[in-house]
């Protein structure tokens, strides 16, 4: 039996985070859009504490109360995250990304970190450093190196476009143990932000998400303890085992790509709501009460955009639900990220066009939402990369066979 309604517990979380976005993010959205490279907004610190105190722990697949059916459907941490992210990004996606302890590195640590690593870094603000000047969407082509030296790892290389790289407490850095082995030798390492050998090169000026810091980092003989590697430090000795090992590294994306899709859901929904408010003042009300043949071109456009948003939402919810229930969701994670990323761009830009001068001016947030939406289709794997991943799954081909 298929039930497409959110359970009561998730609706309560949805209402709580919407209230936070409405009262905490929206009032300061324009203020911090005009500020770049500053400290974490002071208003966010108490909000982050409130979220941490109120957030329930979602159950993973196979977990349950004593006597509970381990095969029962779970609505766990991933779906909780999706619902929360959509609501917060309805308020402001840049401010959501600036919340302490909400970094991409946190997701990696929770996905594959040891109990000790989760205890030490799980509640800190952890960024993720993957992209390099010569390795963008192809994560397997990174050249930052890590070598073992006694009880330490030594990292050397450069990372760019690291979200939260300036303000974070620690960075999860992708590096290779042996360039000749390609993706099979890639591991991820936890590097404290003030660690000697890691330096901040610059913070980028950006079109959107202006308050969210995006940094370039350099690693020069950066030494970290041996236990700061995520997962196994060993390189597998067979091709099949190496493929599986890199798949484990990439598994983080199966959890985080739906969350990026949820960012697009929140931004697009906000744009549509503002657009309807503006158009209703001009006598245009798209309420689905009329047949398509009796609707105006503007009303029909709003119906199409609403349908596109709902389709992306259902795909995103499915990918998160599968992760919570222990089902392989790599294809669905890429599908929802590709669909939602493109949808967010199209909806926000179309809303600007439908509202004309009002959409382009700073009197409303529409132009800001359009600027913010573009990066959602790019980071965490571009539109083209997501389509390539989906194609490999559908055709049953490896990355070597279909590039």
Which residue in 28, 80, 22, 20 sits closest to 50, CA to CA? 20
| Active-site annotation holder among 87, 299, 367, 380 | 380
- With b for 16 or more beta-carbon neighbours within 10 A and e for fewer, the 156-174 pattern comes to bbbbbbbbbbbbbbbbbbb
3-state secondary structure string, 238-277?
A: CHHHHHHHHHHHHHHHHHHHHHHHHHHHHHHHHHHHHHHH
- Give yes or no for a contact between 171 and 217, defined as CB atoms under 8 angstroms apart: yes
Is 380 an annotated catalytic residue?
yes
Q: How far apart, in Å, are the Cα atoms of 261 and each of 226, 277, 303, 360, 373?
A: 35, 25, 21, 25, 11
Helix, strand, coil percentages in the chain from 3-state DSSP, rounded to 5: 55, 15, 35
- The rounded Cα 392 to chain-centroid distance in angstroms is 22
Q: Phi/psi at 202 (nearest 5 deg)?
A: -165, 165
Asked if residues 360 and 352 have their Cβ atoms less than 8 Å apart, the reply is yes
Query: How far apart, in Å, are the Cα atoms of 111 and each of 58, 154, 249, 251?
Result: 13, 24, 10, 8
Chain position carrying tokens 């590294």: 249
Question: Helix (H, G, I), strand (E, B), or coil: what is residue 138?
Answer: coil
The DSSP H or E segment spanning 155 is: strand 152-163
Token couple for 101:
């302890």
Please give the Cα distance from 251 to 261 (Å, whole number): 16
Catalytically annotated residues: 380
């Amino acid at each position: 039996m298929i039930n497409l309604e959110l359970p009561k517990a998730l609706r309560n979380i949805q209402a709580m985070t919407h209230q936070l976005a409405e009262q905490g993010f929206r009032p300061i959205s324009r203020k911090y859009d005009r500020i770049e490279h500053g400290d974490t907004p002071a208003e966010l610190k108490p909000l982050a504490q409130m979220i941490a105190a109120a957030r329930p722990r979602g159950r993973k697949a196979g977990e349950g109360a004593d006597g509970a059916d381990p095969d029962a459907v779970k609505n766990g941490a991933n779906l909780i995250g999706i619902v929360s992210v959509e609501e917060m990004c309805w308020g402001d996606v840049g401010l959501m990304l600036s919340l302490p302890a909400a970094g991409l590195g946190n997701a990696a640590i929770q996905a594959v970190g040891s109990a000790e690593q989760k205890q030490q870094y799980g509640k800190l603000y952890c960024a993720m450093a993957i992209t390099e000047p010569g390795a963008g969407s192809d994560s397997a082509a990174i050249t930052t190196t890590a070598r073992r030296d006694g009880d330490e790892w030594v990292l050397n290389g450069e990372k760019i476009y690291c979200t939260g790289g300036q303000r974070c407490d620690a960075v999860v850095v992708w590096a290779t143990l042996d360039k000749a082995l390609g993706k099979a030798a890639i591991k991820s390492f936890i590097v404290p932000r003030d660690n000697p050998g890691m330096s901040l090169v610059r913070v980028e000026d950006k079109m959107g998400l202006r308050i969210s810091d995006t940094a370039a980092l350099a690693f020069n003989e950066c030494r970290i303890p041996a236990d700061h590697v995520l997962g196994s430090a060993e390189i597998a000795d067979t091709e099949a085992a190496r493929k599986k090992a890199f798949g484990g590294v990439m598994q983080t994306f199966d959890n985080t790509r739906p969350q990026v899709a949820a960012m697009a859901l929140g931004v697009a929904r906000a744009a549509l709501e503002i657009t309807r408010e503006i158009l209703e003042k001009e006598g245009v009300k798209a309420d689905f009460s009329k047949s398509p043949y009796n609707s105006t071109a503007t009303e029909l456009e709003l119906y199409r955009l609403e349908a596109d948003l709902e389709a992306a939402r259902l795909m995103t919810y499915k990918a998160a639900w599968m992760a919570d229930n222990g089902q392989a969701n790599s294809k669905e994670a890429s599908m929802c990220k590709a669909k939602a990323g493109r949808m967010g761009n199209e909806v926000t830009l179309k809303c600007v066009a439908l509202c004309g001068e009002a959409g382009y001016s700073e009197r409303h947030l529409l132009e800001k939402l359009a600027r913010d939406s573009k990066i959602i289709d790019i980071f965490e794997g571009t539109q083209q990369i997501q389509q390539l991943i989906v194609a490999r799954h559908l055709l049953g081909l490896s990355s070597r066979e279909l590039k």
